[in-house]
Chains A and B, each alone.
Chain A
Amino acid sequence: MTARERILARIREALTVPAPRPGAHGHDAGHEVHPATAATGRPVHLARAWLPPGGSTPEEQLTRFAAASAELKTDFRCVASEAEAHAQLRQIADGEGWKRVASHHAPLTDAATAALGRPTLFTDGGYPPDDLEACDAGITTCDVLVAQSGSLVVNSRTSGGRALSVLPPHHVVMARRDQLVGDLTAAFQRVEALHGRNWPSMISLVTGPSRTGDIERILVLGAHGPKKLTVLMW
Chain B
Amino acid sequence: MSTAARQFLEAAGTITRNLRHRGLIQTALRKYETARDRKKAAFHDWSSARQSAAETKWDAINHLDTYLEEFVAKLESRGTKVHWCPTGPEARDTIRGVIRDAKAKCVVKSKAMTAEEIHLNEALEKDGFEVVESDLGEFIVQLRKEPPYHIVFPAMHLTRDEISDLFERELGSAPTREPEELTMIARRALRRKYVQADVGITGANFAIAETGMVSITENEGNARLTAALPRVMITLLGIEKVLPKMEDLALFLPLLATAGAGQTVTGYNTLYGGPRQPGETDGPIEWHVVLLDNRRTELLADPEQRDALHCIRCGACLNVCPIFRNVGGHTYGTTYSGPVGSVITPHLRGLQDWKHLSNASSLCGACTEACPVKIDLHHHLLQNRRNAVGDTPSWIERLAWRAHAFAVNTPALYQFGQEVARIVEPLRRRLQGTPLDPVKSWTRTRDLPPVAPESFKEWWRNRQ
**A contacts, CB < 8 Å to B:** 2-4, 6-8, 10-15, 17-23, 25-26, 34-37, 42-53, 68, 104, 123-127, 129-130, 133, 148-151, 156-157, 160-163, 166-167, 183-185, 187-189, 192, 197, 199-218, 220, 222-226
Which one, A44, A200, A205, contacts B273 given CB within 8 A? A200
Which 5 A/B pairs are nearest by Cβ-Cβ distance? A225-B221, A22-B54, A223-B220, A43-B55, A162-B228
In B67-113, the 8 Å CB interface with A consists of: 68-69, 78, 83-86, 90
Do B265 and A207 touch across chains, with their CB atoms under 8 A apart? Answer: yes
Do A15 and B64 touch across chains, with their CB atoms under 8 A apart? Answer: yes
Given A201-B276, A207-B268, also A18-B85 (CB < 8 A)? no
Given A202-B227, A210-B267, also A14-B297 (CB < 8 A)? yes
Which one, A21, A150, A189, A215, contacts B182 given CB within 8 A? A215
Distance between A218 CB and nearest chain B CB, rounded to angstroms = 4
Is B56 at the interface (CB under 8 A from chain A)?
yes
Kindly state the separation between the CA atoms of A52 and B255 in the bound complex, as whole angstroms: 10
Do B179 and A36 touch across chains, with their CB atoms under 8 A apart? Answer: no
Which one, A50, A126, A150, A205, contacts B270 given CB within 8 A? A205
Do A184 and B253 touch across chains, with their CB atoms under 8 A apart? Answer: yes
Is B118 at the interface (CB under 8 A from chain A)?
no
Kindly state the separation between the CA atoms of A8 and B85 in the bound complex, as whole angstroms: 11
The residue of chain B having its C-beta at the shortest distance from the C-beta of A216 within the complex is B160
Which one, A43, A53, A160, contacts B44 given CB within 8 A? A53
Do B219 and A161 touch across chains, with their CB atoms under 8 A apart? Answer: no
In B278-311, the 8 Å CB interface with A consists of: 279-283, 291, 293, 297-298, 300-301, 303-304, 306-307, 310
Distance between B149 CB and nearest chain A CB, rounded to angstroms = 11
The residue of chain B having its C-beta at the shortest distance from the C-beta of A16 within the complex is B301
In B193-223, the 8 Å CB interface with A consists of: 194-195, 211, 213, 219-222
Given A20-B303, A184-B254, A201-B273, also A129-B283 (CB < 8 A)? no
Do B31 and A217 touch across chains, with their CB atoms under 8 A apart? Answer: yes
Kindly state the separation between the CA atoms of A174 and B76 in the bound complex, as whole angstroms: 34
Do A163 and B229 touch across chains, with their CB atoms under 8 A apart? Answer: yes
Kindly state the separation between the CA atoms of A210 and B247 in the bound complex, as whole angstroms: 25
Do B277 and A157 touch across chains, with their CB atoms under 8 A apart? Answer: yes
Do B283 and A156 touch across chains, with their CB atoms under 8 A apart? Answer: yes
List B contacts of A199 (CB < 8 A): 211, 213, 273-274
Given A157-B279, A188-B246, also A22-B253 (CB < 8 A)? no
Do A52 and B261 touch across chains, with their CB atoms under 8 A apart? Answer: no
Do B281 and A19 touch across chains, with their CB atoms under 8 A apart? Answer: no
List A contacts of B274 (CB < 8 A): 199, 201
Which one, A4, A35, A51, A209, contacts B254 given CB within 8 A? A51
Distance between B402 CB and nearest chain A CB, rounded to angstroms = 26
Do A43 and B58 touch across chains, with their CB atoms under 8 A apart? Answer: yes
Is B239 at the interface (CB under 8 A from chain A)?
yes
Do A133 and B281 touch across chains, with their CB atoms under 8 A apart? Answer: no
Is B266 at the interface (CB under 8 A from chain A)?
yes
Do A50 and B228 touch across chains, with their CB atoms under 8 A apart? Answer: no
Kindly state the separation between the CA atoms of A47 and B49 in the bound complex, as whole angstroms: 6
List B contacts of A214 (CB < 8 A): 135-137, 140, 153-155, 183
Do A15 and B84 touch across chains, with their CB atoms under 8 A apart? Answer: no
The residue of chain A having its C-beta at the shortest distance from the C-beta of B253 within the complex is A184
Do A161 and B283 touch across chains, with their CB atoms under 8 A apart? Answer: yes
Kindly state the separation between the CA atoms of A56 and B154 in the bound complex, as whole angstroms: 39
Kindly state the separation between the CA atoms of A151 and B31 in the bound complex, as whole angstroms: 23
The residue of chain B having its C-beta at the shortest distance from the C-beta of A26 within the complex is B304
Do A223 and B136 touch across chains, with their CB atoms under 8 A apart? Answer: yes
Distance between A221 CB and nearest chain B CB, rounded to angstroms = 8
Kindly state the separation between the CA atoms of A126 and B264 in the bound complex, as whole angstroms: 35
Do B220 and A212 touch across chains, with their CB atoms under 8 A apart? Answer: yes
List A contacts of B300 (CB < 8 A): 10-11, 14-15
Which one, A37, A188, A215, contacts B179 given CB within 8 A? A215
Do B86 and A8 touch across chains, with their CB atoms under 8 A apart? Answer: no
Do B261 and A213 touch across chains, with their CB atoms under 8 A apart? Answer: yes
Do B281 and A225 touch across chains, with their CB atoms under 8 A apart? Answer: no
The residue of chain B having its C-beta at the shortest distance from the C-beta of A162 within the complex is B228
Given A7-B84, A204-B224, also A148-B264 (CB < 8 A)? yes
Kindly state the separation between the CA atoms of A205 and B268 in the bound complex, as whole angstroms: 6
Query: Which of B27, B52, B56, B163 has the most chain A CB atoms inside 10 A of its CB?
Result: B52
Kindly state the separation between the CA atoms of A203 and B253 in the bound complex, as whole angstroms: 14
Do B137 and A149 touch across chains, with their CB atoms under 8 A apart? Answer: no
Kindly state the separation between the CA atoms of A2 and B85 in the bound complex, as whole angstroms: 10
Is B170 at the interface (CB under 8 A from chain A)?
no
List B contacts of A22 (CB < 8 A): 51, 54-55, 57-58, 307, 310, 373-374
Given A25-B379, A199-B213, A223-B183, also A42-B250 (CB < 8 A)? no
Known: A127-B282, A201-B274. 13 other contacts (CB 8 A): A19-B62, A44-B247, A133-B195, A199-B213, A202-B227, A204-B224, A205-B269, A206-B267, A213-B153, A213-B219, A214-B153, A215-B182, A220-B183
Which one, B90, B153, B219, B374, contacts A210 given CB within 8 A? B219
Given A161-B228, A162-B227, A210-B219, also A50-B44 (CB < 8 A)? yes
Query: Which of A50, A125, A210, A214 has the most chain B CB atoms inside 10 A of its CB?
Result: A214
Q: List 21 A-B contacts (CB under 8 A).
A: A10-B301, A11-B239, A11-B297, A15-B62, A19-B307, A20-B303, A21-B55, A36-B52, A42-B59, A49-B45, A50-B52, A51-B251, A133-B195, A183-B250, A202-B283, A207-B265, A210-B220, A214-B155, A215-B136, A216-B160, A224-B220
